Amino acid sequence: MQRTFFESDHEAYRHTVREFLAREVEPHYERWEDDRLVDRSAWLAAGKSGIVGLAVPERFGGSGVSDYRFRCITAEEIARTGTTSFGSGISLQDDVALPYIIDLGTDEQQRRWLPRMAAGDLIGAIAMTEPGTGSDLQGIKTSAVRDGDHWVLNGQKTFITNGIHSDVVIVVVRTDPDAGSRGFSLLVVERDMPGFSRGRKLHKVGLAAQDTAELAFEDVRVPDANLLGTEGKGFVHLMEHLPLERISIAVAAIAAARAAYEWTREYVFERKAFGKPVGDLQNTRFVLAEMLTEIEVTQSHIDQCVLALNAGELTAVDAAKAKWWASELQKRVVDRCVQLHGGYGFMMEYPIGRAFVDSRVQTLYGGTTEVMKEIIGRDIAARPA
């Protein structure tokens, strides 16, 4: 099926991304995976090449690009090269942290943070999850109490993407314990604030080079100037921005599924068993046919979701549908591709082996598959009386 989703400008940008990855990422990626940390120099290179901070307005040093198809190009090229740990950090910056500052930040906040984020010199993170609170965001216990023109912040966060490198962390805090969902706010904690510390760099099943960490806040005095958005509307701000985060996961998922399929399609016609290429066995052809069909059908749907996002029409429910379906498809496709690789599929020097461990988190972060189904189910149940 001919895909007509991209235009000439997008394909020109693909060339830029592909050259950047070949020059700045692929030669170093094995070392980063072994070190369990991407070099900060890669972020600076990404800033210079326009790979990060696309949506930052031009007056703050960005490209001012709101067309999410450009981010789709980056996701596809990262999946093609199997450099998923690098892509995860970049996605967190562009699809999660930056939109909060662009949409909610005051002019002073934007002037302070956006130019350096667009340059790759300032790395962002968002701290939602806590040791006892995952997808249930209303269970957050991290709190902040006003003291003059500051907030005194206490609590712990975990599983924080970019947790080690981050220079600015958007922290979801409870500012009014008696206000229910209207008692949350967003505070931006900066790297050197006293009382802010990083725990261990978490040792994950996959995404080895992506720096995921625990964060601790002990009587951190956060100036009122670092309140992001409106006090008490933190939960509303989260709900407004979660569709973008979730569609970004769906885009990465379908890109990864297609990359795994392409590696496998090539491999099975090179590898021989019983005197002929594995790809000439009927079962192999059936598996390839099933995967390609599922990928193309899902790709068509994700493309429509991206166009809806561009038009400002992507709903939280539709984002949830795309996120759970595409991420579960990614897991199924990668698992079948490992099987078709045989024993070599279990070797980390083959990209499919790394794709196998990297894929597992996709149905967990950004809201688990079960939470996505609950969001959809509630919408179904809210039928007119």
Q: Is the pLDDT of residue 94 over 80?
A: yes
Report the candidate in 140, 170, 172, 158 with the shortest Cα–Cα distance to residue 214: 158
Q: Is the pLDDT of residue 204 over 90?
A: yes
How many angstroms from the chain centroid is the CA of residue 362?
9
pLDDT at 241: 95
Give the CA-trace dihedral at 176, 180, 182, 186, to 10 degrees. Answer: 60
pLDDT at 178: 87
Q: Is 109 within 8 Å of 188 (Cβ atoms)?
A: yes
pLDDT at 194: 98
Q: Is the pLDDT of residue 76 over 90?
A: yes
Average pLDDT over residues 339-368: 95
Which residues are CB-neighbours of 33 under 8 A, at least 6 positions away?
85, 208, 209, 354
Average pLDDT over residues 330-349: 96
pLDDT at 284: 96
3-state secondary structure of 169: strand
For 105-122, b/e burial (b = at least 16 CB within 10 A) is beeebbebbbbbbbbbeb
Q: Residue 384 corresponds to which tokens in the numbers above?
A: 């007119």
Give 132-164 pLDDT, tens digit per residue. 776 667 789 999 999 999 999 999 999 999 999
Q: Is the pLDDT of residue 197 over 90?
A: yes
Q: Is the pLDDT of residue 116 over 70?
A: yes
Q: Is the pLDDT of residue 275 over 90?
A: no
Q: When comparing pLDDT for 2 and 92, which is higher?
A: 92
pLDDT at 138: 75
Q: Residue 277 corresponds to which tokens in the numbers above?
A: 């290429």
Reported as a pLDDT band with limits 50, 70 and 90, residue 173 is very high
Q: How far apart are CA 71 and CA 245, in angstroms?
A: 12
Report the candidate in 177, 169, 100 with the shortest Cα–Cα distance to residue 140: 177
Q: What is the mean pLDDT of the chain?
A: 95
Cα 277 to Cα 270, 271, 282, 333, 340, distances in angstroms:
6, 5, 11, 21, 12
Q: How far apart are CA 145 and CA 169, in angstroms?
A: 18
Reported as a pLDDT band with limits 50, 70 and 90, residue 62 is very high
pLDDT at 135: 66
Q: Exactly one of 33, 76, 231, 245 is catalytic; which is it?
A: 245
The share of the chain scoring above pLDDT 70, in percent, equals 98
What is the 3-state composition of the chain as percent helix, strand, coil, each rounded to the nearest 5? Answer: 55, 15, 25
pLDDT at 139: 81
Q: How far apart are CA 71 and CA 251, in angstroms?
A: 9
pLDDT at 2: 73
pLDDT at 165: 97
Name all domains of the chain by residue range, CATH numbers in brackets: 8-122 (1.10.540.10), 125-232 (2.40.110.10), 236-381 (1.20.140.10)
Where does the chain have alpha helices with state H?
8-20, 29-35, 40-49, 69-81, 84-91, 98-104, 107-118, 234-268, 282-310, 316-341, 351-359, 369-381
Give the CA-trace dihedral at 341, 347, 350, 352, to 10 degrees. Answer: 60
Average pLDDT over residues 63-78: 97
Reported as a pLDDT band with limits 50, 70 and 90, residue 214 is very high
Report the candidate in 151, 128, 129 with the shortest Cα–Cα distance to residue 227: 151
Q: What's the distance, Cα to Cα, between the start and end of the chain in Å?
A: 43
Average pLDDT over residues 21-34: 98
- Specify the pTM: 0.95
245 catalytic per annotation: yes
Q: How far apart are CA 66 and CA 96, in angstroms?
A: 14
pLDDT at 292: 98
3-state secondary structure of 276: strand
Give 360-374 pLDDT, tens digit per residue. 999 999 999 999 999
Cα 372 to Cα 46, 316, 360, distances in angstroms:
32, 10, 16
pLDDT at 345: 94
pLDDT at 17: 98
Sign of CA dihedral 88, 89, 95, 96: positive
pLDDT at 35: 96
Half-sphere exposure of 55 (CA within 13 A, CB side): 22
Q: Is the pLDDT of residue 385 over 60?
A: no
Average pLDDT over residues 266-281: 92
pLDDT at 86: 98
